[in-house]
Structure 1
Amino acid sequence: MELGANDLPYRLPIHPNLVHLTIGLFVIAIAFDIAGALFPFERRLFRFLALPVTRSGLHDVGWYNLLACCLISFFTVAAGFVEMQLADPLPGITSSFAMGSTATMLWHGAVGVALLFAIVLMTVWRGFQRFRWRREMGRQVQWSYLLVGLLVFALMAWHGTLGAQLGVEFGVHVTASQLLGEGASLREALP
């Protein structure tokens, strides 16, 4: 198989793009569910700003973003494992977490799978809240669900830091850096 400048069979890594989509969808889902849960306190602000916002509308945004996040996460993890198998990290470097490249990749992969599992469980939990347990209530989400969502945020932050270390400190799949190192111009290095 012919590998490009980033050690992948395609020009740009797919995993980082899907990661940012996954994180964005999850953050929006939890943020809108928090806004929906706190709606009675925010109602005056929305009315003052002349925004036609309803509690159910906020919860709808939360639900559909979490559902999309769940579906995209499978592709994110799959792309991550494909790209991890083709990674060629810089040897002899220790990260700011005092880990080598192999340990960082293993932790990043393991936490990625754990996050996928957590997102799927949260989507099922959110679905039961929306369609079974709380469908007749104004606030569709339980406070415990929101707390778990915030804990998943923290896990995502640590996981993202490990992924950033793979790119920045170990040079894994950094296309522009690889091309510039091979003598390409800046115009050729950027898509």
Structure 2
Amino acid sequence: MNSQLIDQLRLRLGANGLPYEIPMHPQLVHLTLGLFIIAILFDIAGTLFPIERPIFKFLALPAIRSSFFDVGWYNLVGATAVTFFTVAFGFFELLLANPAVNQKSDWGLSPGWTMLLHGIGGILLLGIFVAMTVWRGLQRYRWRKDTSRQVQWSYLLAGVAILGILYAHGTLGAHLGEEFGIHVTAAELIREGANQNILLK
């Protein structure tokens, strides 16, 4: 835990080791993941639209190919914008973390190494999201603006690969909460030897 940061900002930390009741980073992570996954899935759906058209016709669903790409584009922009806040809150909460030093995760990593890898990974993923958004924007507004298929196959493959990276990165984050109990109220109270029944009433 960064005591200097706490003193400088005059923070009053709660039972979970944060100045607010619910950790913000995990909440924003779910929003980031949801937006990015939807973006890639809808771009894939738009790309495969000629195959899907008979299904939509059979189900009497009015579907326009460009609409799939619109959803993909705007969700990607949203994911990238939200990720700036996700990373910012993540680093703030990591600075206030006070994990036990004698634990190991399922991957054999200490809390310190897990936090380091998760933090660096967050910055790298933010950069990747920005790069993907620029790449997607160039396809939408310049390179493929006059074609029915708005995205390149290489872009879709990159998106699927990033989903795999997000899974590994998210697992590191899950280790911080589930195995090390970072900013988990009950875990923090147990670590401090406090009476949970009294403090959580």
Q: TM-score range by the shorter chain?
A: over 0.9
What is the DSSP-based 3-state SS (H/G/I as helix, E as strand, rest coil) of the residue aligned with 1:89? Answer: coil
Matched residue SS, 1:99: coil
What's 1:127 paired with?
137
Structure 2 counterpart of 1:32: 42
- Alpha-carbon separation, structure 2, partners of 1:49 and 1:81: 47
Instruction: Name stretches of at least 5 consecutive residues in structure 1 with no aligned partner.
Output: none
Q: Does 1:62 align with 2:72?
A: yes
Counterpart residue identity of residue 133, structure 2: T
- In 2, Cα distance between equivalents of 1:158 and 1:175: 25
**Which position in structure 2 is the counterpart of 1:183?**
195
Matched with 2:6 is none
Moved more, 2-11 or 20-29: 2-11
Structure 2 residue runs without a partner (length 5+): 1-10
Could you tell me how far apart the structure 1 residues matched to 2:127 and 2:155 are?
15
Which residue identity lines up with residue 66 of structure 2 in the other structure?
S
Question: After superposition, what is the alpha-carbon deviation per residue over 1:39-96, rounded to whole angstroms, capped at 9, x for unaligned?
Answer: 0000011111111111100000000000000100100000000000001112300111
Find the partner of 2:97 among 74, 87, 90. Answer: 87
Distance 2:195 2:62 in 1: 55
RMSD: 1.6
Pick from 148, 170, 176 the counterpart of residue 166 of structure 1: 176
Residue 184 of structure 1 and its aligned partner are, at CA, apart by 3.8
Output one character per residue of 1:112-159: Cα deviation in whole Å (capped at 9) or x when no partner.
111100000000000000000001111100000000001110110000
Q: 1:150 aligns with which of 144, 154, 160?
A: 160
Match of 2:26 among 16, 34, 38: 16
Identity %: 56
Which of 49, 55, 78 does residue 59 from structure 2 map onto?
49
* Stretches (4+) displaced over 3 A: 176-185
Output the TM-score relative to the length of structure 2: 0.89
2:182/2:188 contact within 8 Å kept: no
Given residue 50 of structure 2, which amino acid in structure 1 is its aligned partner?
Answer: P
Aligned residue number for residue 82 of structure 2 = 72
Secondary structure class of the residue paired with 2:146: coil
Q: Give the distance between the partners of 2:152 and 2:77, measured in 1 at CA.
A: 17
Q: TM-score, normalised by structure 1?
A: 0.94
